[in-house]
């Protein structure tokens, strides 16, 4: 049975949430498999706008929604986000929502450390979301994390807290901060534990059952391939693997479960935070893209950096993530441009490159090679079929699919759920 894995193929904010919400009504389960509440996914359904950071976007359609073991979970944020969505009429209960009991927790000390490090980093600042993501993942691989299942054993947490605090106290001392307040941390965890535990279970088992019944699973990635800790613009990346392969390890299923890999690709490029961005436009064109695309971060409210479409990075993302087809989003933002540029390669030290090199300095120094395409003056906003698109817009989409060597499966033409053109159904067997 066909499953679909949605991942971002640029630097995040490609419109994953909208596409996952659109596909969710045809899925039996939606699973988040990495990242945490650093993500910001905006869904627009009629006059309602839903902003999700931690919960799978499938929750809005009432589809079984699962937080997999690959996610780092802030329990207090979880409660706040659920309450906010419930306030908007979304139903969330133990029938339609589950959390992996082996999921590591983001604690207040992780947020502290994220902030302290960023402040001290000077020009090396990553521009994180400040939500403790990096430090929480470090404690996971450092075997110091407190996990969801520990919330049911808080009276036996002493030896784990010794390990965790020994590490954090040394770091905090270096920043001139007092040691971890163990009593307070334990009290806070005791208070939140029952809330989280009602949803906790071995989700690999639930997913095994779901698959056995022939159900369709939709994996929802956060961030984007260029923010992947291995394949991204290191060190200006997030602390998880955002590529499609993580869907398996981050949920407790094998790699054959990932199915159709749908790369979400914006019709131009944006980035939040620091780091190389070859096609960045610091002029009125970049400003126009930002204004027309409402490019402000959902999580931090920061202005997103904007630039032309970069076919080099998307081709690379599609390769390293095994993308079957892409969803091209925000095509409408390009309406009315006289000329549209596409980056087809880079120039570095007199050489032509058809890929993004691994070293940060090289990434910062590559000069984009552009190809010009005539724009279109008609509107594509709200188009729901290929026939609704002006000829030049179709040519633009076709040129992109040629350059990235990957077919287009969907085109999105507005924030609204239904303003989506289906070219090839990712769920079709």
For ligand GDP, the binding residues (CB under 6 A) are: 8, 12-18, 40-42, 44, 294, 298, 329-330, 332-333, 412-415
* Contact yes or no for 100/67 (Cβ under 8 A): yes
Among 13, 74, 81, 295, binds ligand IMO (CB under 6 A): 13
Choose the catalytic residue: 13, 21, 310, 419. Answer: 13
**Residues forming beta bridges with residue 369, ordered by sequence position:** 345
Residue 89 φ/ψ region, left for φ over 0, alpha for ψ in the -120 to 50 degree band, beta for the rest: left
The one segment of 39-47, 92-100, 193-201, 407-415 that binds Mg ion by CB under 5 A: 39-47
State the nearest-atom distance from the C-beta of 11 to ligand IMO, in Å.
Answer: 6
Question: In the window 76-135, what residues touch Mg ion (CB under 5 A)?
Answer: none
The one segment of 5-13, 185-193, 320-328, 330-338 that binds Mg ion by CB under 5 A: 5-13
3 state SS of 351? strand
By a kind-dependent CB cut-off of 5 to 8 A, residue 126 interacts, out of Mg ion, ligand GDP, ligand IMO, none, with ligand IMO
Q: How many CB atoms lie within 10 A of CB 337?
A: 18
What b/e string do you get for 20-34 counting C-beta neighbours within 10 Å, with b at 16 or more?
A: bbbbbeebbbbbbbb
* Contact yes or no for 121/95 (Cβ under 8 A): no
Question: In the window 114-173, what residues touch ligand IMO (CB under 6 A)?
Answer: 126-129, 131, 133-134
Q: Is 13 a catalytic residue?
A: yes
Distance separating alpha carbons of residues 387 and 333, to the nearest angstrom: 18
State the nearest-atom distance from the C-beta of 326 to ligand GDP, in Å.
Answer: 13
How far does Cα 283 stand from its chain's mean position? 27
State the nearest-atom distance from the C-beta of 249 to ligand IMO, in Å.
Answer: 18
Among 7, 8, 81, 218, binds ligand IMO (CB under 6 A): 8
For strands 367-374 and 339-348, give the pairing.
Answer: antiparallel
State the nearest-atom distance from the C-beta of 204 to ligand IMO, in Å.
Answer: 23
Q: Which is nearer to ligand IMO, 114 or 332 (CB)?
A: 114
Distance separating alpha carbons of residues 355 and 315, to the nearest angstrom: 8
Catalytic residues: 13, 41
């Amino acid at each position: 049975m066909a499953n679909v894995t949605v991942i971002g193929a640029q630097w995040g904010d490609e419109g994953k949430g909208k596409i996952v919400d659109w596909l969710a009504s045809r899925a039996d389960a939606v699973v988040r498999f990495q990242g945490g509440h650093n993500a910001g996914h905006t869904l627009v359904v009629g006059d309602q706008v839903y902003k999700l950071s931690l919960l799978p976007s499938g929750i809005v359609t009432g589809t079984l929604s699962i937080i997999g073991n690959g996610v780092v979970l802030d329990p207090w944020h979880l409660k706040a986000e659920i309450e906010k969505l419930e306030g908007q009429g979304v139903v969330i209960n133990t029938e339609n929502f589950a959390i992996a009991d082996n999921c590591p927790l983001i604690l207040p000390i992780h947020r502290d450390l994220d902030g302290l490090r960023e402040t001290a980093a000077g020009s090396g600042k990553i521009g994180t979301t400040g939500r403790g993501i990096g430090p929480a993942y470090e404690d996971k691989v450092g075997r110091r994390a407190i996990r969801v299942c520990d919330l049911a054993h808080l009276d036996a947490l002493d030896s784990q807290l010794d390990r965790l605090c020994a590490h954090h106290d040394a770091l905090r001392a270096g920043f001139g901060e007092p040691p971890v307040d163990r009593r307070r941390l334990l009290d806070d965890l005791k208070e939140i534990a029952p809330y989280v535990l009602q949803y906790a279970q071995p989700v690999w088992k639930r997913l095994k059952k779901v698959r056995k019944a022939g159900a369709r699973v939709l994996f929802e990635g956060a961030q984007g391939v260029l923010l992947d800790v291995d394949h991204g613009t290191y060190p200006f990346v997030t602390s998880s693997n955002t590529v499609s392969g993580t869907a398996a390890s981050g949920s407790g299923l094998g790699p054959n479960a990932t199915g159709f890999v749908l790369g979400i690709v914006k019709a131009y490029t944006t980035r939040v935070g620091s780091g190389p961005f070859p096609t960045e436009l610091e002029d009125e064109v970049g400003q126009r893209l930002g204004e027309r695309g409402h490019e402000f971060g959902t999580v931090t409210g920061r202005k997103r950096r904007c630039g032309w479409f970069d076919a080099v990075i998307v081709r690379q993302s599609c390769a390293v993530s095994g993308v079957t087809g892409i969803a091209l989003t925000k095509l409408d933002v390009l309406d009315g441009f006289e000329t549209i540029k596409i980056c087809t390669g880079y120039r570095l030290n007199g050489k032509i490159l058809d890929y993004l090199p691994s070293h940060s300095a090289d990434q910062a120094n590559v000069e984009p090679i552009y190809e010009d395409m005539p724009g279109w003056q008609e509107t594509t906003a709200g188009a729901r079929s290929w026939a609704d698109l002006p000829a030049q817009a179709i040519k633009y989409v076709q040129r992109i699919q040629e350059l990235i060597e990957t077919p287009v499966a969907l085109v999105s033409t507005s924030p609204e759920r239904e303003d989506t053109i289906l070219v090839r159904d990712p769920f079709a067997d």
